[in-house]
Amino acid sequence: MHNEPTKKSKLFIHIVLIIGSIIMILPFVWMFLTSGKTIPETTSIPPTILPESFQWENYKNVWNVLPFVAFFLNTGIMIVVRVVTSTLFSAMAAFAVAKLEFPGKNLFFWMVLTQMMIPAQIFLTPQYLLVQNIGMLNTVTALIIPGIISAFGTFLLRQFFMKLPDELMEAATIDGANIWQIFARIYLPLAKSGLVSLSIFTALFAYKDLMWPLIVNISQEKMTLSAGLASLQGQFTSNYPQLMAGSVISIIPMIILYIIFQKQFIQGIATTGGK
Amino acid sequence: MNEHVLEEKQITMKKQAVKKNRNTYLWGWLLIAPTAIGLIVLNIIPVFQTLLMSFQNVSTFGTSTFVGLDNYVKMFSDAEFWQSLRNTLVYTVIQVPLTVILSTIAAVLVNTKIKGVGIYRVIYFLPMIAAPAAVAMVWRWLYNSEFGLINTILGYFGLENVQWLSDPNVVLWSIIIVGIWSNIGYNMILLLAGLQEIPQEYYEAATVDGAGKIRQFFQITVPLLTPQLFFVLVTSVISALQIFDIIFIMFDVTNPSLNKAQSLVYMFFNESFVLNDKGYGSAVVMVLVVIIMCITAIQLIAQKKWVTYD
């Protein structure tokens, strides 16, 4: 509860939370420890907890086996393009829906809501066929396509724009600004926290997406970190040190970003999930 | 003032208003254009295409023949479909309540005034930012029957090895555990935002009235948290029904217990993109969509009974 707990209950809360933290963090610790072991160390009974000497070669090997540089580039390009286009387009549409009157507005907003309510798997095969028809399979563009726009982003930012007063619009109109200027110079900066939240949300889910990159891009050179890591599994079925080294490499960038921007991350998720 | 001039002025003003309106329309359309076009091409048309494909036999190069209800007939007599449906529903029915309960407890605990709550929040949220492929990979290793950490720990307590990834009676539980572990932090953050909106005075008043912590929890916290609980419940059910990543990474195609683990989305993926029967895959996805929409609709109706908005 929110009011000051007694010393005893504080201790109890700490114990519960620490047990929880161990469960949450242990898989990551085990991932890292395993990534530094030799294969015999992982298959000894009872298992060794710490590697005798940390085997950095595991990282070197897995780095040589998989084109991680390409994975990082593909993932980075996909995330940046998706974040920029979907945030910009969503902000434009959200502003129009929140502040302008025009025929077709309600129809458009219904489309947005419908898209959000329908499970995404229904779009996948036609999207795949579309990418195939324009000859874009196995390209970085293919990774980007479904995320160019965002119905969810439009919905989210609309709420931000609705909270901003209409008077700003009237005042600016009198001053002779056109609608694009009103949007870009007045309303957009005021919705900054919404834009940041949406960007984090978009980046995180683009990074985590597994099925889409898996189906559109077959050659390893065009894979994302997520999908590339999945392909590692087939190659080293039981070489757990290398599998774990690959896993560490693929989660490290996000973890670093998360540790630096933890407040924005948690705030971003809280606002995107909130009402 | 001359009447004539007045009239003319009114006409020009009207003209300007019409022009301004037209201008606004144009801007409105222009601003929604990218999203509208994207939605139509990437989402609206695909819904109808998938529906159509579910009545077709789609060959690898896109030539399709109409086969009526064949895909659905095949599906409803396909034991694999029923098993996948069962797995998906059992997974959802067990994973979601446990996750919601545990995340509520976690949210309440990290909402207390104790040292280091910020660190706990960061740690609990950690699984959410890791790529599911990496998460599933490490769990696969933890679950290893001979050398996995979990069986080793169970061994210390004198318990027998569990075949986490091959015992057909256990595999679904293995997925449920990872599902709960992955989702607690996310839901905790959403619920925490709701908890922070509950006015402190309510608790103070309750304490004065002599209500204990447990009673405060059920009589103040839970009722006031129902909007967030409802949101978390709806989104958790939807995402649980779409479970795929963990199964895909943790179970090899050759794993004989895969059929006790695979979900509807896994089956859709397998039929559409591995076995290349996109018509049949579309039928599977249509069923999934109908189930999700129905369950969501039921929840939206049922919310009136238990969700309190102020």
- B114 contacts in chain A (CB < 8 Å): 5, 10, 13-14
Question: Quick one: pLDDT at residue A238?
Answer: 74
Tokens of A89: 């387009």
Domain shared by B106 and B80, yes or no: yes
Segment B121-127 mean pLDDT: 92
CATH of the structural domain A67-227, one choice from 3.30.420.60, 1.20.1050.90, 1.25.40.10, 1.10.3720.10: 1.10.3720.10
Question: Quick one: pLDDT at residue A233?
Answer: 73
What are the two backbone dihedrals, phi and then psi, of residue A200, each rounded to the nearest 5 degrees? -65, -45
B161 DSSP assignment: P
8 Å CB contact between B56 and B67: yes
Cβ distance of B198 and A2 shorter than 8 Å: yes
Per-residue pLDDT at A1 exceeds 60: no
Segment A254-272 mean pLDDT: 85
Nearest CA in chain B to A103: B25
Residue of B139, B144, B152 lying closest to A46 (CB–CB): B152
Per-residue pLDDT at B218 exceeds 60: yes
- B228 contacts in chain A (CB < 8 Å): 274
The C-alpha of B78 sits at a distance from chain A's nearest C-alpha, in angstroms, of 21
Query: Which H or E element spans position B58?
Result: strand B56-58
Please indicate, yes or no, if residue B253 is contained in any of the structural domains: yes
B197-to-A273, B104, B200 alpha-carbon distances in Å? 15, 15, 9
Residue type, B163: Q
Question: Quick one: pLDDT at residue B266?
Answer: 97
Residue of A119, A179, A225 lying closest to B288 (CB–CB): A119
Per-residue pLDDT at A155 exceeds 80: yes
- A124 contacts in chain B (CB < 8 Å): 272, 285
Question: Quick one: pLDDT at residue A161?
Answer: 94
Burial class from Cβ neighbours inside 10 Å (0-12, 13-18, 19+) for residue A264 reads middle
Domain shared by B117 and B209, yes or no: yes
Q: Which residues contact B167 (CB under 8 A, 6 or more apart)?
A: B257
What are the two backbone dihedrals, phi and then psi, of residue B110, each rounded to the nearest 5 degrees? -80, 0
- A149 contacts in chain B (CB < 8 Å): 34-35, 38-39, 42
Residue type, B296: T
Which residues numbered 70-99 in B keep a CB inside 8 Å of some CB on A? none
Answer with the residue of higher pLDDT: A252 or B12. Answer: A252
- In 3D space, the residue among B291, B296, B236 whose CA is nearest the CA of residue B264 turns out to be B291
Q: What is residue B66's three-state secondary structure?
A: strand
**Count of domains observed in chain B:** 2
Cβ distance of A1 and B213 shorter than 8 Å: yes
Domain of residue B120: give its range.
70-306
Cβ distance of A122 and B47 shorter than 8 Å: yes
Please indicate, yes or no, if residue B58 is contained in any of the structural domains: no
pLDDT tens, position by position, B150-181: 999 999 999 999 999 999 999 999 999 999 99
Domain shared by B255 and B137, yes or no: yes
pLDDT tens, position by position, B20-58: 678 889 999 999 999 999 999 999 999 999 999 999 998
Please indicate, yes or no, if residue B217 is contained in any of the structural domains: yes
Segment A126-148 mean pLDDT: 95
Question: Quick one: pLDDT at residue B61?
Answer: 66
Residue A220 neighbours by CB distance under 10 Å: 15
Question: Quick one: pLDDT at residue A46?
Answer: 76
Is the preceding omega at residue A46 within 30 degrees of 0, hence cis? yes
Question: Quick one: pLDDT at residue A47?
Answer: 79
Cβ distance of B286 and A111 shorter than 8 Å: no
Tell me, yes or no, if B263 comes closer than 8 A to chain A by beta carbon. no
Angle between the A240-260 and A57-65 helix axes, to the nearest 10 degrees? Answer: 90
Q: Residue B15: which pLDDT band, with cuts at 50, 70 and 90? A: low
- B100 contacts in chain A (CB < 8 Å): none
Tell me, yes or no, if A164 comes closer than 8 A to chain B by beta carbon. no
Residue type, A240: Y
Tell me, yes or no, if B193 comes closer than 8 A to chain A by beta carbon. yes
Residue type, B125: F
Best A121, A156, A187, A229 residue to mutate vs chain B (most B CBs within 10 Å):
A121
B34 DSSP assignment: H
Segment A97-104 mean pLDDT: 94
Question: Quick one: pLDDT at residue A230?
Answer: 87
8 Å CB contact between B146 and A48: no
Answer with the residue of higher pLDDT: A6 or A150. Answer: A150
Question: Quick one: pLDDT at residue A169?
Answer: 84
Tell me, yes or no, if B207 comes closer than 8 A to chain A by beta carbon. yes
Which residues numbered 79-138 in A keep a CB inside 8 Å of some CB on B? 85, 89-90, 92-93, 95-97, 100-105, 108, 111-112, 114-115, 117-130, 132-133
Question: Quick one: pLDDT at residue A275?
Answer: 39
Q: Which residues contact B112 (CB under 8 A, 6 or more apart)?
A: A1, A2, A5, A10, A13
The Cα B123–Cα A160 span in angstroms is 29
Name all contacts of A68-71 with Cβ < 8 Å and 24+ positions apart.
Answer: A68/A228, A68/A249, A70/A220, A70/A221, A70/A222, A70/A223, A71/A223, A71/A224, A71/A225, A71/A228, A71/A250
Per-residue pLDDT at A2 exceeds 60: no
Per-residue pLDDT at A264 exceeds 50: yes
Please indicate, yes or no, if residue B64 is contained in any of the structural domains: no
Question: Quick one: pLDDT at residue A236?
Answer: 66
- In 3D space, the residue among A107, A116, A108 whose CA is nearest the CA of residue A150 turns out to be A116
Domain shared by B145 and B46, yes or no: no
8 Å CB contact between B46 and B257: no
Tokens of A41: 């160390």
- Average pLDDT along chain B: 91
Please indicate, yes or no, if residue B133 is contained in any of the structural domains: yes
Domain shared by B176 and B204, yes or no: yes
Please indicate, yes or no, if residue B138 is contained in any of the structural domains: yes
Tell me, yes or no, if A186 comes closer than 8 A to chain B by beta carbon. no
Question: Quick one: pLDDT at residue A196?
Answer: 92
Percent of chain B, pLDDT > 90? 70
Question: Quick one: pLDDT at residue A190?
Answer: 93
Residue of B31, B121, B128 lying closest to A96 (CB–CB): B31
Tokens of B74: 């095949």
Percent of chain A, pLDDT > 90? 71
Residue of B32, B130, B285 lying closest to A122 (CB–CB): B285
B58 strand-pairing partners: B64
Q: Which residues contact A85 (CB under 8 A, 6 or more apart)?
A: A144, A147, A148, A149, B34
Question: Quick one: pLDDT at residue B14?
Answer: 63
pTM metric for this prediction: 0.90
Tokens of A158: 């609309």
Cβ distance of A112 and B35 shorter than 8 Å: yes
Lowest mean pLDDT among A24-38, A79-93, B210-224: B210-224
Residue of A105, A154, A274 lying closest to B28 (CB–CB): A105
The C-alpha of B257 sits at a distance from chain A's nearest C-alpha, in angstroms, of 17
Cβ distance of A127 and B46 shorter than 8 Å: yes
Segment B91-117 mean pLDDT: 94
Lowest mean pLDDT among A100-109, A157-166, A235-244: A235-244
Segment B222-234 mean pLDDT: 92
Domain shared by B193 and B249, yes or no: yes
Please name the residue that has the structure tokens 């959403």.
B190
Tell me, yes or no, if A60 comes closer than 8 A to chain B by beta carbon. no
- B226 contacts in chain A (CB < 8 Å): none
Please name the residue that has the structure tokens 């976690």.
B106
Residue spans in chain A of domains classed CATH 1.10.3720.10: 67-227
A79-to-A12, A76, B17, B253 alpha-carbon distances in Å? 42, 5, 43, 30
Domain shared by B27 and B113, yes or no: no
Cβ distance of A120 and B242 shorter than 8 Å: yes
Cβ distance of A24 and B184 shorter than 8 Å: yes
